[in-house]
Structure 1
Amino acid sequence: MKERLPCEFFLIRYVPDVVKGEFTNIGVVLREAGDVASDAAKPEHAVVRFTRDWSRVRCMDADADIGLLEALEGEIAERLRMSATDPKPVLALLEDTLSNSVQISPPRASLAESMAAEMEQLMRMYVEPLKIKVERRRTGRAAIAGAMRTEFERARVWALMRKRIAASLYTRPGDPMKIDCGYRPNGVIRMFQAVSLEGDVEAAKGLAYSAPQLREGVLRVESAKLELTAVVEPLRSVSDIEDEAMERYRFGVEAMERQEIRVVTVSDLARVAETARVELRV
């Protein structure tokens, strides 16, 4: 029988009102127990994962900044990777830097078959909402963004990527656009944006409009070429009464491709993620 791995885990909690003390768990930090500092550069010794379903947070706090909470996952992951050189234990450091609305629970012990399997179990037990009867299927941009993240996580590159990249860094102050994720393998920066064409094509038109300014800005700021990729749902078989939807879909794709935006579907994500894995040398 395979020997189990002694671990400890911490729950990340969102506390919208510290006076009331009510909270909901939004993530898990899992690390090997004991002294692993000599091998801390290996990412499997300490991992973090946040929920992808923010419904409970929104129920507690309708004004919660979900984007900021999502970005926090990347910040924690980065600190965990750098923990070997930090003079202070990484969890204590995080407790000092997080606001009161995001808190870390005391550590709890566990015995894991593997880090990946244990993380899945902890997320089911403590973080993800119970699936009762019929699970609502995510559609549109949310579904595409979720599929994109899943494939990049499967390729073990998600933690190495930039998330919610502010277009204003490259265009002009006040630009509200955020690019979902990206990375820089060499002299090129690859950025990926989930774009749904099922409803309307405004998101596609907006990305197409911004592409030239983004490209110029990346060259100016980063001295690098930008490869911008839009991830869309596949064109499903449609009947005659859905001709208008098909025309909108094609219009959206063509509008982006005219601005040299690479368009792929969710079916291509495994190949895209594998390319990222090779380029990031994971």
Structure 2
Amino acid sequence: MAERVQCEFFLIRYVPDVVKGEFANIGVLLREAGRADSAVVRFTRDWARVKCMDADADIVLLEALEAEIGARLRTVGKDAPGADQGIKPVMEILEDTLANSVQMTEVRACLAESLPAEIEQLMKMYVEPLKVKTERKRTGRAAIAGAMRTEFERAGVWGLMRKRIAASLYTRAGDPMKIDCGYRPNGVIRMFQAVSLEGDVEAAKGLAYSAPQLMEGVQRVEAARLELTAIVEPLRAVSDTEDEAMERYRFGVEAMERQEIRVVTLNDLARVAETARVELRV
């Protein structure tokens, strides 16, 4: 049996009313004991409890906070891998965000087989709400995006990726499109977008329309080639042998492939995530 690793974790909480003291755990920060360079952070994907406590909660800001904390931890970890000061910049971020509405608990100890496995367990124990059997299954783009994030998290690369990448950085001001995630291994930038072909193909057409400008813009701004990948449902998941659904599906795939968009299905996600793990040297 592999020896367990001595770890420390902090819970990140949303506190809409400091006077009342009510809170909802929204994330976990985990690291090997005394090692700032090993720290990883994970936030919830289900903001229902936060919205229930505070209907006006800025969910977009809270989601962006996860990426900001992750980036700060990686920067500090390089400068001070053995120092406890790795947590101080995180506290500064939290203090600057929504006043005192986002807080971090005192450190707690735990033993872990691995950091990815342990943060998954801590999220289930302290953060994620219990799933009820009657919960409606996510479908369409939401299901694809959730599966994509899950696979990248399992590979340990989600925290290293850019999220919600604004197309306007590469096309023109006012472009509302956001690309789900991406990373840059070497001279190529890989971006991934969840595209559902279950109901209609408008999302596929929109991505195909934007692809040439995105590719040209990435080359101009980043001096790199863009490999744009669309993640879609398998054909059998949307067609059920209906001719119209099959034709719609094929039309969407072909529209994207004509613009040099790589199209892969949910069945290929594990392989895509493994490639990212290797390229990002996790």
State the TM-score, normalizing by the size of structure 1. Answer: 0.87
* Maintained 8 Å contact 2:116/2:154: no
Of the three residues 72, 91, 94, the one matched with 1:95 is: 91
- The alpha-carbon distance between structure 1 residues 209 and 118, as it changes in their structure 2 partners (threshold 3 A), is same
One-letter amino acid of the counterpart of residue 180, structure 2: D
| Residue 228 (structure 1) aligned with residue 221 (structure 2) | no
What is residue 217 of structure 2 aligned with on the other side? 217
Q: SS of 1:131's equivalent?
A: coil
Q: Any unmatched runs of 5+ in structure 1?
A: none
> Does the Cα contact within 8 Å between 2:40 and 2:159 map onto a contact in 1?
no
Q: Of 67, 70, 83, which residue of structure 1 is paired with 2:76?
A: 83
Aligned to 1:69: 62
Matched, 1:178 2:153: no
For residue 170 of structure 1, report the CA deviation from its aligned partner: 0.6
Matches within 5 A, 1:147-162: 147-162=147-162
Q: What TM-score does the superposition give when structure 2 sets the normalisation length?
A: 0.87
Cα pair distance change 1:255/1:18, threshold 3 Å: farther
* Structure 1 residues 280 and 112, CA gap change in structure 2 (3 angstroms): closer
Q: Distance in 1 between matches of 2:171 and 2:19?
A: 41
Q: What are the equivalent positions in structure 2 for 1:22-61 lying under 5 Å apart?
A: 22-33=22-33, 35-36=34-35, 40-41=36-37, 45-61=38-54
CA distance in 1, matches of 2:18, 2:278: 45
Alignment size in residue pairs: 274
Deviation at residue 168 of structure 1 after TM alignment = 0.9
- Name 2:204's counterpart in structure 1: 204
Greater CA drift, 228-237 or 78-87: 78-87
1:194 aligns with 2:185: no
Distance 2:16 2:261 in 1: 40
Measured against aligned partners, the alpha-carbon deviations of 1:89-119 in whole angstroms (never above 9, x if no partner) come to 2322222222133221222233334433432
What residue identity is the alignment partner of 2:86?
A: V
Deviations 1:179-208 (A, max 9, x none): 111111222111100011111222112111
Where do 5+ consecutive residues of structure 2 fail to align?
none
Distance 1:200 1:134 in 2: 27
CA distance in 1, matches of 2:231, 2:151: 12
In 2 relative to 1, CA 223–62 (structure 1 residues): closer, same or farther, beyond 3 Å? same
Identity among equivalent pairs (%) = 79
C-alpha deviation, 1:220, in angstroms: 1.1
More displaced, 139-148 or 97-106? 97-106
Deviation at 1:26, TM superposition (A): 0.9
Do the aligned residues in 1 keep the contact of 2:91 with 2:104 (CA within 8 Å)? yes
Change (3 A) 1:273 1:118: closer
